[in-house]
Amino acid sequence: MNKIHSHQAFCILLLSGAWSVICIPVLYGSGQILGTAAACLMQMLFCLPMLALRQESFSRLIQSQKWLGMIYLCFFLLCGAQGFAQLWEAAPSQLLPSSGKFTAAVLIVLTCFYTSSSGLRATARCAPLVMSIFMISVLVLILGAWRRIDVSRISWQKTGFWQSVRLYFSLSGELVAAWILSDRIRGNRKTALHGYLTAKACFCALILFLSITAGGRLISLTGYPFFTLTALSQPLQGQRADALYILVFVMLYVIHTTLQTGLVQHIAELLYAAEEKWTAPVSLFLMVLMAWLMNNFLIQDMIIIIQPVLFFIIPLVLRIRQFTQTIRKKEHSHEAF
């Protein structure tokens, strides 16, 4: 089995999470920052049962309960479809105006076909490199927005708190991914997962903070705060930073989608105990098809409903079962003595 190092897992989860963050469609208010922090803390708590389980728990579970494996598989197809819907809605008007809506989407999906056919391990190996480009772009974003920051625009109110908690929870498919990949992660997976949760919350809070303080009222004029922020955050007078933002935008989408296709392939391999390299590209085709046929809000609602079950309730039930089994074993051994 191809193992992924914990730092590669951290990078791939964070980059995939960053895609969801940059595609946040609306800015509700200052309370959104507090909502993000609260949601992050709740997710850390919800992850405890998953982390308390043995690494191979998921593989064993779906080998015995195949129907459950199918639910996980469908979930990642939905996540991929949601990613494509976000690409279709967010990209054309903001970052890819000159290429045209359709051409840009086709080229990006073609790139995803290539990366998904290479497998998850290849993507994991290049994730630290993408991470460094991503960090540079975040730095450029901060430098460009720095001059425009007006802290008086922030008011610590409740506006947007609960909407933000709900929204942030809907953008956390990587938590399910972290559990599924747990038997493939080499090194400290707890640090990788906590690192991912903290870094993603920090990135999300940074985007919201910059949007409110540097963007001001302009952010509410157009959707997608991140993309409005990129239009306002141009650190150099003689050189536009758009190319860097476009590069990062495309790379984040490719990583996000390749993670979903890689997970579908991984689950399919566990379910049918056979390695089939065309599973990932076929799943990508299905994702695009689902995004085309299904309503985006329906996909989002389904993800919100299924997600806590997949990364919290099922691991919790498993953990309780393991615990009771251990107690029973102890009781049996006592009786034997």
Partner 1 sequence: MKHFKTLIPVFFLMLTGCSSETISDRMYTQAIGLTCDGKLSFYAQAFDQEPGAPVEGISIAEVLRQEEAANGGKVFIGHTELLCLDGTCTLNPAEELLFEKGLSPACKVLYAKPGEYFQNPDSTAMIHMIRMSEQNGLLSSTELSTALNEWHGTWETALLPVQRADQTTPGLVFLHKDGQCTELSDFAAKGMYWLRRNAGDFSMTLQTPDGEKDIHIQKSRVEKQIENDKLYYHIIIYADNPELKTTLRLLTEKQCQAAVSEMLKAHADVIGMQDVLESANIKPDKNMNLQIEISVMVQ
Residues of this chain that interact with partner 1 (CB under 8 A) are 93-94, 97, 107, 114, 117-118, 148, 150, 152-155, 157, 216-218, 221-222, 228, 231-232, 234, 237-238, 240, 242
Closer residue to partner 1 (CB): 173 or 225: 225
Q: φ and ψ at 297, to 5 degrees? A: -65, -35
Closer residue to partner 1 (CB): 94 or 283: 94
CB of 216 to partner 1, least distance (A): 4
CB of 163 to partner 1, least distance (A): 18
Q: Please report the DSSP string for 154-197 in residue order.
A: -----TTHHHHHHHHHHT-HHHHHHHHGGGTEES-HHHHHHHHH
CB of 229 to partner 1, least distance (A): 10
Report how far residue 202's alpha carbon sits from residue 171's, in angstroms, rounded to the nearest whole number.
14
Report how far residue 155's alpha carbon sits from residue 159's, in angstroms, rounded to the nearest whole number.
10
Report how far residue 144's alpha carbon sits from residue 232's, in angstroms, rounded to the nearest whole number.
8
CB of 319 to partner 1, least distance (A): 42
CB of 240 to partner 1, least distance (A): 5
Closer residue to partner 1 (CB): 238 or 295: 238
Closer residue to partner 1 (CB): 27 or 77: 27
- Asked if 185 and 174 touch (Cβ cutoff 8 Å), the reply is no
Closer residue to partner 1 (CB): 199 or 246: 246
Report how far residue 275's alpha carbon sits from residue 238's, in angstroms, rounded to the nearest whole number.
52
Closer residue to partner 1 (CB): 231 or 282: 231
Report how far residue 267's alpha carbon sits from residue 66's, in angstroms, rounded to the nearest whole number.
10
Closer residue to partner 1 (CB): 56 or 150: 150
CB of 223 to partner 1, least distance (A): 11
Report how far residue 71's alpha carbon sits from residue 302's, in angstroms, rounded to the nearest whole number.
12
Q: Please identify which residue in the block is written with the tokens 């779906």.
A: 62
Report how far residue 143's alpha carbon sits from residue 152's, in angstroms, rounded to the nearest whole number.
19
How many residues can be counted in the chain?
337
CB of 147 to partner 1, least distance (A): 8
Report how far residue 16's alpha carbon sits from residue 137's, in angstroms, rounded to the nearest whole number.
16
Among 48, 127, 42, 112, CA closest to 81: 112
Closer residue to partner 1 (CB): 97 or 100: 97
CB of 241 to partner 1, least distance (A): 11
Tokens of 214: 């540097």
